[in-house]
Structure 1
Amino acid sequence: MANFSKPTGPQFSVDVYQNEFLPEGGRDVNAIVTVTAIGGGTTAGLPQPAAGGRSAAVVLMLDCSGSMDYPATKMRGARDAAAAAIDTLRDGTAFALVAGTHVANEVYPGGGRLAVADARTRAEARDALRGLSAGGGTAIGTWLRLADRLLSSADAAGAAIRHGILLTDGRNEHEAPADLRAALDACAGRFTCDARGVGTDWEVEEVKGIARALLGTADIVADPAGLTADFTTMMERAMDKEVADVALRLWTPVGVEIGFVKQVAPTVEDLTARRTEAGPRAGDYPTGSWGDESRDYHVSVRVPQAAVGQEMLAARVSLIVPDPAGGTPVTLSQGLVRAVWTDDMVMSTAINPQVAHYTGQAELADVIQQGLDARKSGDRDGATAKLGRAVQLAAASGNADTAKLLSKVVDVVDAATGTVRLKAKVAEADEMTLETRSTKTVRVKK
């Protein structure tokens, strides 16, 4: 039987979708940049882990505060889910378990170390999980800082991927909001983290804020029985990541202003404020870790006015990874955004389908949040208008998952016109699910 080895890393491509034509005096240029990583390439030309380094290092942070015993299924579900996640680890992955209360406690392997996944350490970790019990408060910043120390230890040296999984069931009540913000700022760019809320007593914005800052995913698991499947999926995705610290580098000519840079698929995330300067007229926007996947970004720039017949490079979009030795970053792929001035009104007024689609998806995320905020504040008319617009956008774009979530909050009279009625009673889990998943988008049909 022939031996086939899995390629050691994905190949990246950048595709730009735009209408480059502007009318005389036109200045705003919009483009959708699709970044795709496909297995079958090699990491030739990519920075390599240090000799003997781990391919990945993972820390699981489990809420063990007193509320996890109410009901007791939360604590049991968390233990079972963590055990399933540990079983999903690839051999050789460095890992640790952290019990989070008003302090952070490393429950396995202990001593500020990481274990190396194999049959023995997985069994030991499962034994440690069985000893976890609920008690104490919630200070998530302390959990993240401990995870950061572990993922920066010698046991994680050379790990291409550093990742955390965080589970909480309550509000971050035992530290100041500024302490959590400071912890997130300290951890940003050092590891990625998926965050989950179990039950319905946690703050959606806190959990989403953790995932947003650490370039991970956020979601709700309203029923603890769903934790095992969710943790298994999260760990499988973490194990599939192969290239870390990928950034979108945007270079613009003199006179070009950047409007915004947003990820628009698979979720809407505004990256504009996360720019770090990268030389003259260039800036980097973090995208986190990649496996085999594709994501879309909306880039909007404003160019100087020009006469009909002129054209210019409006922006160059490159995908880069840092050189561990501190040398020149490696460029994985790049695409160009152009501007061409024309007096053909048909050409200059056409809206690119990809740009139109994702503009609608970004508006969908915004109006859902605005509608839920209005509903919570008692503004029924405002909530009806915003959520009605959300129903209309979801229907028009084919976002069936969001449409289904909206139907649990409003009665849909006519989706095409956005005519809805607020439901008199809405389950808390349904409202939180809609809020947590409001930024999830559907891909445009290319």
Structure 2
Amino acid sequence: MSSPTRPPQPGIRLHVDLGGDLRPHRSAKIEAHLRVDVAADGAPTDLPAVQLAVIIAVDVAESHRAAVRHALPAALRALPDRISFAVLGSGPEPVRCYPRAVADRDEWAVADRDERRRAAFVSGSLPLHREGPRPAGYAAWVASARALLTGRPVSVRHLVLITDGSSATAEDRLEEELELCAGQFTCDVFAVGADWTPDPLLVLAERLHGTAEFVDDGLGRAITAALQRLRRVHTPQLPVEVTVRPSVRQVSLSEKAPRPHRLGGLRAPGRPRCWSFPTYQWEQGSRDYLLTLVADSDGDPLETELQFAMVSIGDVHAPVTARWHLPGQSPAQAPAGADSVRTLNAAARMRGALRQGLVALREHGRDTAEDRLGQAARLAVQLGTDWVLDEIRAVAHIEDAAAGRVRLRAVDPGTLGPMILRAGSRPGGPLIDAAGARPGPRCGGCGTPAGSEARYCITCGEKML
């Protein structure tokens, strides 16, 4: 992913909202909502296909050949002209199926009418897992993709992994291999069949900045849609840099929308207080991030505006400023971004509770499942997130969503995998509008903010608005 991007560069707008009432101590947490808007600014609508390299990897057992028999040829016939592509089949190790691995043949095919026709024909005899040695695991798939993709000098490099869980062996090497793949390519995972485990698929999608989803029907259309999305990328890689003041000793950044990811930070060479967080596949639109800083207040003045960090994206910069408040005193008003930061955190808790509840239900922990799904329902009502309520209704009766009361249905645990994938990887819209729609209660007399359950002001005793 380190190849040069195409001009012209998109227009970037960066907005920072700070949340929280900062109290000085040795490990104070400072949270800020970053909203990044990207406009095409004259860039072409679609990335030229010649700038894309895609591997379609089929990790499927012979018994599930029907899942890909028609979908794979259809996806190959729909490839755009001039895209670089390769197809990997299954065995004890990934097998290059197209183009064929011969001495006078390039590792990559470049799509045109003849290449698409030949690839679709060859895919009919795609090698799949058979009885015998156990497959090497997901680490082998991403290692094979890395070996092919890192040598292809194009702007966007991507792996489409189709799996039925055949490679879900002990994944001792997966974490190590994902470290090596960081920044080299992105990945979308499509799960077919019913025997796969959600957790490693979610790890692949999060670490490689893609999505994981279950496809019961329409696999060919799903692959084609994923490639069409890649062509809408205006900037393949765009790091978010955070430069902090000396009192800040921990920095983390998480993307909250449109796709939930925790980003890995890298120290900038020669700049000990600068962290770089690589991000990928920027399309026109908006993204929401939660920046978390941990700072020591020793030596900092109180009630004085301080710049704790500078956030930089391309040539656009925005400061993160706040002040330490005197112990025992409340500020006149909450920071402007307090509501949006609360919403980002609430949305993360909602997704986490939904996923935990579904996992507990799959593992027959019904009390835990009911508790977590109730939490998810309560937060979904507060945030107006209807899709979460729909997911809960599939496994439970919602007796009182606002109070978090649900009653579990009789559910086959083996059917919950697709729901767990959606809870962990489903894209969602930007959160800033929801943040502004539901401000928390505030005292009408002194303006002190409070939690969502507060009814009377802790400072002056007046009823909250």
TM-score, length-normalised on structure 1?
Answer: 0.83
Residues 62 and 98 in structure 1, CA contact (< 8 A), matched pair in contact too: yes
What's 1:86 paired with? 76
Is residue 317 of structure 1 aligned with residue 318 of structure 2? Answer: no
| Mapped contact 1:22–1:348 kept (Cα < 8 A) | no
- Cα offset, 1:251, TM superposition: 1.0
Does the C-alpha gap of structure 1 residues 185 and 339 become closer, same or farther in structure 2, counting only changes over 3 Å?
A: same
Residue 215 (structure 1) aligned to one of 206, 209, 225: 209
Aligned residue pairs, count: 408
For residues 133 and 100 of structure 1, do their structure 2 counterparts lie closer, same or farther at Cα, with a shift above 3 Å needed? Answer: closer
Structure 1 residue 59 displacement after superposition: 0.8
The Cα of 1:133 is off from its aligned counterpart by: 5.3
State whether residues 77 and 120 of structure 2, in contact with CA within 8 Å, keep that contact through their aligned partners in structure 1.
no
Instruction: Give CA-to-partner distance per residue, 1:201-235, whole Å, 9 cap, x none.
Output: 111011111112211111111x2x22122112111
Aligned 8 A contact 1:315 1:337 in 2? yes
Q: CA RMSD in A?
A: 2.8
Mapped pair 1:433 → 2:418: yes
**CA 1:350–1:15 in structure 2 vs 1: closer, same or farther (change >3 Å)?**
closer
What SS does the aligned partner of 2:239 have?
A: strand
1:138 is aligned to: 135
Q: Take 2:49 and 2:405, find their aligned partners in 1: how far apart are those partners?
A: 57
AA partner of residue 14 (structure 1): L
Give the deviation of 1:161 after TM superposition.
Answer: 0.8
Q: Deviations over 1:249-296 (max 9, x none)?
A: 11101111335321111232222xx22111221111222222223221
> What's the secondary structure of 1:177's corresponding residue?
coil
The 1:408/1:53 distance shift into structure 2, 3 A limit, reads closer
Residue 60, structure 1, aligned to residue 59, structure 2? no
Task: Find the aligned partners of 1:129 and 1:10 in 2 and give their Cα distance.
Answer: 38
Closer/same/farther in 2, CA of residues 53 and 375 from structure 1, 3 Å limit: closer
77, 96, 99: which one pairs with 2:86? Answer: 96
1:168 maps onto 2:163 in alignment: yes
Measure, in 1, the Cα distance between the counterparts of 2:333 and 2:259. 30
Distance 1:231 1:355 in 2: 35
Deviates more, 1:256-265 or 1:335-344: 335-344
Answering whether residue 198 of structure 2 is matched by residue 204 of structure 1, we say yes
Partner residue of 2:37?
Answer: 36
Secondary structure (helix, strand or coil) at the match of 2:423 reads coil
CA 11–120 in structure 1, closer or farther in 2 if over 3 Å, else same: farther
* 1:7–1:39 Cα contact (<8 Å) kept: no
Whether the aligned pair in 2 keeps the contact of 1:64 and 1:132 (CA below 8 Å) is: no
Counterparts in 2 of 1:301 and 1:135: CA distance versus 1, 3 Å: closer
Q: Residues 243-254 of structure 1: matches in 2 within 5 Å?
A: 243-254=235-246
- Distance in 2, Cα, partners of 1:287 & 1:337: 20
Instruction: Specify every segment of 5 or more residues in structure 1 that has no aligned partner in the other structure, as ranges.
Output: 1-5, 44-48, 320-330
Paired residue secondary structure (1:347): coil
The secondary structure found in structure 2 opposite 1:172 is: coil
2:75 and 2:221 in contact (8 A); partners too = no
Query: Which residue number in structure 2 is paired with residue 404 of structure 1?
Result: 390
Pair 1:443-2:433 in alignment: no
Structure 1 residue 241 displacement after superposition: 1.8
Amino acid at match of 1:254: P
* Structure 1 residue 75 corresponds to structure 2 residue 68: yes
CA contact 2:395–2:408 (8 Å) conserved in 1: yes
Once the two structures are superposed, the pairs formed by residues 24-423 of structure 1 within 5 Å of their partners are 27-42=28-43, 54-69=50-65, 72=66, 74-76=67-69, 79-80=70-71, 82-111=72-101, 113-132=107-126, 134-136=128-130, 138-139=135-136, 140-153=138-151, 156-157=152-153, 159-173=154-168, 176-221=170-215, 223=216, 225-258=217-250, 260-271=252-263, 274-278=264-268, 279-305=271-297, 306-319=300-313, 331-341=314-324, 345-348=331-334, 352-423=338-409
- CA 1:166–1:377 in structure 2 vs 1: closer, same or farther (change >3 Å)? closer
Contact 2:40 2:234 in 1 (8 A): no
Structure 1 range deviating more: 408-417 or 337-346: 337-346
Partner secondary structure for residue 110 of structure 1: coil
Q: Deviations over 1:176-198 (max 9, x none)?
A: 41133333232222111111111
Shift of 1:53: 11
Larger Rg, first or second structure (1 or 2): 2
SS in 1 for 2:278: strand
For 2:8 and 2:112, the matched residues in 1 are separated by 21
Shift of 1:142: 2.5
Percent identity reads: 27
Measured at CA, do residues 143 and 19 of structure 1 come closer, stay the same or move farther in structure 2, by a change above 3 Å?
A: closer
Of 94-103 and 160-169, more deviation after overlay is shown by: 94-103
**TM-score, normalised via structure 2 length:** 0.80
**Contact 1:405 / 1:433 at 8 angstroms: preserved in 2?**
no
Query: Contact 2:49–2:83 (CA<8 Å) still a contact in 1?
Result: no
